[in-house]
Structure 1
């Protein structure tokens, strides 16, 4: 019989918002704690307007540092005092700070750094620009990392281009876990999700230009020429007023709602028919996988990076061109007419489960997963 090796694990994330990276890191910390490990979750800053999710059996350490660079000294102190076996960091700015902290503290801990967005938006070749300086700093400390990961295979190839055949490998985020599946069952408000007299389409994300919500609203206008359906967009951001004006101009107030920020969109996803990702660029869209977990048939732009990888071309959903509302409307109509079966959706998200992701992390770190898991 193999004895379980309990490890001291630290998961680090910068500012907490209702967004992909911090939520993924919270799931990650919970998953390690569920397997019996001693887990610290370090968060740079938690804005007062947000309620931090429940993290039972995880020690939350709030550094109260709004700037990522302000996390350097506290991380050095943490590493010297707590001596974790593994540190998991996410996002390139924080990865750089974490690696510097590890070097300055003299820590021997294993470091795994995950990149979550395309390097073309993070680094630059323009001399002495902020993104160029970050690139030089990362190049300097990169050898200290035991593992460098990306959340999609396409992103790995991008990093190999930016850093001349870098050692990055693909390891997905945890999306499918017990906590999320429980949240799917919570009661909802909103008549559209209760009476379901018409199909409901959902989307979610920051109301910002790169999310493509203007295209989605235009696509719904196109869709109304052939059928009735309702769209609900969850999230807030700088484009809310502009999007609301567009909805009014297109006379879509009766079929499109900007629902704003909600702590638990999963309970709405589980009562919807189709989820649309309208983005121009992504890392690997957790929200797309969450919607598939909830049973939504996915429609996604074929943006870099992630959607084509998740949907396996058109096996698990419908891919449409970026910035093409007419094609998006056609994709939504296909999804409503020919939804993806629950069996196929379950198959599609299996790589994003707790066990699959943790075992993959242990594999690339050279840790025997059978000894590290209960």
Structure 2
């Protein structure tokens, strides 16, 4: 038994675990799933990372992080049409536990398991969003997605919510029994993030030591970068030398570029797209801003704290309030309120708060600790199934 594991965790570590995700795109769910797989392997768990679409900017990073030959490609194009490929993998591998997330991936895993007729494999679905808020805001298929969640999530053996808010949403609005929902935060490699943050970054605003406001995320409606741009217009009126960098790619790029032109911000705002090392930009920013309408955990908020940068975040469902300790570690502002967001940004620029204690972040989000909580939950599942 290692110093970090209990007897129950050692029992779980003896089992085979597969983690299923959709792709190697640069989203938070993909990064944390890969980190969790690596943490299991560090603990000696026989672990494979199963990926529907094998391409994406995170693939090289994942190959460096994981054990050789532990990435399995389904070689599919879309999740729905890859269910047969997932079924084929399950029939060959027969994992003791299949961990799948977000919820659409978990539902695909459930269908594949039923088709494979593997009653011995336990399914753990991971919910990375506040589902009722997300489904309500979907422009299409919102009602269908809510119906699928309500019908199919209860058929899983366990559902992990990445924040308390997401867990309460699952119980109160999706209708999951309390006993099948457990809250386990996403892993954050604080030491690794801080090490990567020390690497050099080449950008003229960084070289000129200008005050940079940074945001990171997919250029899509849930991230509400439109409100951030409106807030930045107000920030510029108070502090004219500030600049805004947004890292990420997505379908709203052209809309955001049009907003930048409309407000005359072409010299002060840049959409940099996906970057391999966003943490180097975080460490050299004056303020990090999360403008989301909803989240499940808000991984980038925890990573910004790990980099020592002041944070301003919307008090959206769910995640930022928990990570920021109800406003103790950063400013919380209402969703969609550009004026209050701008005021909080200006305050943080003029009077930066002290950085968060990295030891607190390590204690709460270290990948090894998070993996241990998953292993303990798995062991409880097997104990319960043995008595049925």
CA contact (8 A) 2:76 2:85 kept: no
**TM-aligned CA distance change 1:246 to 1:76, over 3 Å:** closer
- Where does structure 2 lack aligned partners over 5 or more consecutive residues? 382-388
Assess if the C-alpha contact under 8 Å between 2:190 and 2:358 holds in 1. Answer: no
Determine the C-alpha separation between the residues in 2 that align with 1:54 and 1:8.
Answer: 19
Q: Distance in 1 between matches of 2:338 and 2:278?
A: 24
Structure-1 separation of matches of 2:149 and 2:265: 47
- Normalising by structure 1, we get a TM-score of 0.87
Q: Which runs of 5+ in 1 are unaligned?
A: 369-374
**Residue 266 of structure 1 pairs with residue 285 of structure 2:** no
Please identify which structure carries the higher helix content: 2
1:85-115, Cα deviation, whole Å (9 max, x unpaired): 3221111122122123233334312321111
User: Which residue in 2 is equivalent to 1:207?
Assistant: 219
In the aligned structure 1, how far is the partner of 2:169 from the partner of 2:380? Answer: 27
Q: Which moved more, 1:54-63 or 1:307-316?
A: 54-63
Alpha-carbon distance, 1:259 to partner: 1.4
The aligned counterpart of 2:79 is 68
Q: CA offsets per residue over residues 184-239 of structure 1, 9 Å max, x none?
A: 2322110222331x222100112223312121122122112222322111112232
Q: 1:54 is paired with a residue of what secondary structure?
A: helix
| CA deviation map 1:4-23 (0-9, x unaligned) | 55432211101331111111
In structure 2, the CA distance between the partners of 1:182 and 1:8, relative to structure 1 (3 Å rule), is farther
Aligned to 1:253: 266
Tell me if 1:361 matches 2:371.
no
Flag the 1:216–1:345 CA change in 2: closer, same or farther, 3 A.
farther
Deviation at 1:165, TM superposition (A): 4.4
Aligned match of 2:32 in 8, 11, 24?
A: 24
- CA gap 1:64/1:312 in 2 versus in 1, 3 angstroms: same
> Residue in 2 aligned with 1:372?
none
Q: How does 1:105-144 map onto structure 2 within 5 Å?
A: 105-107=116-118, 108-120=120-132, 141-142=152-153, 144=155
Distance across 1 between alignment mates of 2:229 and 2:143? 37
For residues 373 and 336 of structure 2, the distance between their equivalents in structure 1, rounded to whole angstroms, comes to 35
Does the alignment pair 1:174 with 2:187?
yes
Does residue 1:95 correspond to 2:103, yes or no? no
C-alpha distance 338-356 of structure 1, shift in aligned 2 (>3 A):
farther
**Partners in 1 of 2:152 and 2:225 — Cα distance?**
38
Q: Structure 1 residue 84: deviation in Å?
A: 1.9
**Mapped partners of 1:285, 1:249: distance in 2:** 29
Q: TM-score, normalising length from structure 2?
A: 0.84
Aligned to 1:289: 302
Report if aligned partners of 1:85, 1:110 keep a CA contact under 8 Å in 2. yes
Tell me the C-alpha RMSD between the 2 structures.
2.6
User: Are 2:52 and 1:44 equivalent residues in the alignment?
Assistant: yes
Whether the aligned pair in 2 keeps the contact of 1:9 and 1:37 (CA below 8 Å) is yes
Cα shift at 1:135: 5.4
User: Which structure 2 residues correspond to residues 208-357 of structure 1 after superposition, within 5 A?
Assistant: 208-227=220-239, 228-344=241-357, 346-348=359-361, 350-357=363-370
2: distance between equivalents of 1:304 and 1:95? 21
Using the alignment, how far apart are the partners of 1:335 and 1:308 within structure 2?
Answer: 17
